[in-house]
Amino acid sequence: MTAHPRFADPLPPGEGGRRPGEGLALFLLLIAIAAVAFTQSYERWLDPIIDTGRDLYIPEQLAHGARLYRDIRYQYPPFAPYLLALLTSIIGHSLASYTVIGLLQSIVIAAALWAIGRRTAGTLAGFAGSLFFVALSFCGATTWGANFLFPYSYGTTIGIALIVISLALFLFDHSSLALAALFFASWCKVEYALAALLLVVVLAAGRRISLRQIVPFLVAEVVAIAAAVLYFPHFRENVLAESLTRGEPARRFFESVSGVTDWRGSVAAALLALLGIVAIVWLLRSVRLQIAVPAVLAISILISTHAFFRAWGPLQIVGLVQGFRQRNSVLLTLSAFSIATTLRIPLNVSPFWYGFAFIVPTYALIAYVLFDYVQLGARAMWWLPLVALLCGRDLIEQHQRYAQKAFAIQSPRGTLYDVNPDRAFAFTDFLRHVHGGTLVVFPEGLTLNYLSASRNPIRFHTFTPVETASRGVEDSIVSELAATPPDRVVVLTRDVREYGYRGFGIDYDRRLFDYIVKHYSVIHYWNRPGFRMILLARGHV
């Protein structure tokens, strides 16, 4: 199958009716917007409790000789933590070091999106694709951890950076290198391994890759799996742990992630935005510009929410079908990558929450379709108001949300800001007095371990219902605490209603809580209206 003739030789920068200096002006504008997003969120990206602390804590432990999966439970493949261990052994383990890592992966993604857009649809498409990422995902604030500076999982962001690199390499006809990038992405997150398999199948069917290229990729995957199982005997029970994939807490959580929980609202929003997109295309194609522009602006205002991106859930499937039908290799490739990375969020395709990283390849698909595929010619520039509204609205929301994080947490690793003044006070006070030794935090507190340079002596560290609510897992934790008791224990308030529970020691892990009370004594209690935290030391009360 050959590429559609229109895309055999993409227009180089400066042609197609564009002014020679336009690319530079848009590039500088993109940098300015990125600077605004970075500055207004500075030191406010990290959540003090949830998720991110795991990926800050683990690399340092690996550098000191710990073995992933055996000494530390970890639910993702091993590439990201070992890469972070290598990088931080060179540049340090401070918050500033991780900020540099976040910036580097963000620059790579923005540059790749720019190159993809330029290659497939011209300068405006490159600008739009990169702008979506810079404005919506780079410093996203739909939840703390939904950003590329301090993400809920570095496996998610490093993996998506590799996938976007792979997409760019495919479009620049470097298929072997693209498959190599896809291989490393598959070892960042299980979802990306499934995405890689789907992409190989689709691109082979579309004759974008040959059997001669597929065989080395598959052999490398088989060898890597065998090596992982041999080197990490506990690999399967960590990455495919039943407690994380089955049961009521997991079901409830992943239904929320996918959009199934509110499927009616998600479908209605997608259909409304889809109608708006179709209406804009019709207006710009068929109506005199003087009449079309006011209508286009009105529709743009109406659909300039995350509903616009949800419309691309069905549109990406249409794009894949059309790519095959029209022998359009660009549309086929972009659609395949978009579908592969959004499999986890089929009814929630948007930069919201989990989607902040998964949607990144979709940005490239959107830019191509809007600025080239629908064939609007010079009128395609009238998509820019909609792009500006989508990005501007989100940047304003980020400003408002990050402004709430006004309370500093001072630590030896650096300063971060919290939205909760009582929690910021408790953490800062704790970090003044606790450094080193061994510590276990219930629930989900590896950030405290990282900030205080305190080692967690047991494998478990999250203690949320999705991980530890089952009786068997709880028994394992109690056994490990008895075998390798930590010097200190912290019990803090963490909202677990997203899993359908009220709290640690209240309606789950009650036997574990009783064990702590029996074997540890309280040495300090932070009891403030917005946050409670108890520090206990080993010994009978």
Shared domain check, 270 and 205: yes
The residue written with tokens 């500076």 in the block is 149
What pLDDT shows up at residue 467? 80
* 204 contacts: CB under 8 Å, gap ≥ 6: 210, 211, 214
Domain boundary among 381, 401, 421: 401
Whether residue 201 sits in one domain with residue 141: yes
Position 327 pLDDT exceeds 80: yes
Binned at pLDDT 50, 70 and 90, residue 17 comes out as: very low
Asked if residue 437 belongs to a domain, the reply is yes
Whether residue 390 is found in the same domain as residue 318: yes
Say if CB 122 and CB 18 are below 8 A apart: yes
**What is the rounded average pLDDT of the residues 414-436?**
96
pLDDT in the model for residue 3: 40
My answer on whether 140 and 215 are in the same domain is: yes
pLDDT higher than threshold 50 for residue 264: yes
Based on the structure, what is the number of domains in the chain? Answer: 2
In a shared domain, residues 186 and 77: yes
Instruction: Based on the fold, state whether residues 395 and 411 are members of the same structural domain.
Output: no
pLDDT, tens only, 189-217: 999 999 999 999 999 999 999 999 999 99
Q: Do both 48 and 116 map to the same domain?
A: yes
DSSP label at 349? Answer: -
CA 490, 493, 497 angle in degrees (round to 5)? Answer: 135
pLDDT digits (tens, 9 = 90+) for 351-390: 998 899 999 999 999 999 999 999 999 999 999 999 999 9
Which whole number is the average pLDDT over 524-537? 95
Judge if 433 and 347 occupy the same domain.
no
Residue written as token pair 């261990």: 85
Token pair for residue 240? 């495919």
Quickly list H helices, 327-369: 329-341, 355-358, 360-368
Q: pLDDT by residue (tens digit) across 78-129?
A: 999 999 999 999 999 999 999 999 999 999 999 999 999 999 999 999 999 9
Which residue has better confidence, 15 or 298? 298
Of the candidates 401, 422, 438, which is a domain's last residue?
401
> Is 34 among the domain residues?
no
- Pair 248, 105 in one domain: yes
User: Per-residue pLDDT averaged across 174-196, rounded?
Assistant: 97
**371 in a structural domain:** yes
Give the model's pLDDT for residue 20: 63
10 assigned to some structural domain: no
Q: Say what the pLDDT of residue 462 is.
A: 86
The residue range of the domain holding 527 is 407-538
Which pLDDT score is estimated for 243? Answer: 65
Contacts of 353 (CB under 8 A, 6+ apart): 142, 143, 146, 257
Q: How many whole angstroms from its chain centre is CA 391?
A: 18
The mean pLDDT value for 323-348 works out to 96
Based on the fold, state whether residues 66 and 157 are members of the same structural domain.
Answer: yes
Q: Are residues 486 and 533 in the same domain?
A: yes
* Residue 8 clears pLDDT 60, i.e. is over it: no
Tell me what the pLDDT averaged over the chain comes to.
92
Is-contact 30 387, C-beta < 8 A?
no
Alpha carbons 58 and 52: distance in angstroms, whole number:
10
Pairwise CA distance, residues 383 & 131, whole Å: 13
Question: Residue 52 — very low, low, confident or very high, per pLDDT cuts 50/70/90?
Answer: confident
The last residue of a domain, from among 383, 401, 419: 401
Q: What is the pLDDT of residue 36?
A: 98
Q: Angle, nearest 10°, between helix axes 79-91 and 95-121?
A: 120
Kindly report the pTM of this predicted structure.
Answer: 0.93
Q: Are residues 241 and 380 in the same domain?
A: yes
CA angle 98–131–105, rounded 5-degree value: 25
> Does the pLDDT value for residue 431 go beyond 50?
yes
- Would residue 447 count as lying in a domain? yes
- What's the pLDDT tens digit per position in 433-488? 999 999 999 988 899 999 999 999 999 998 888 788 778 888 999 999 999 999 99
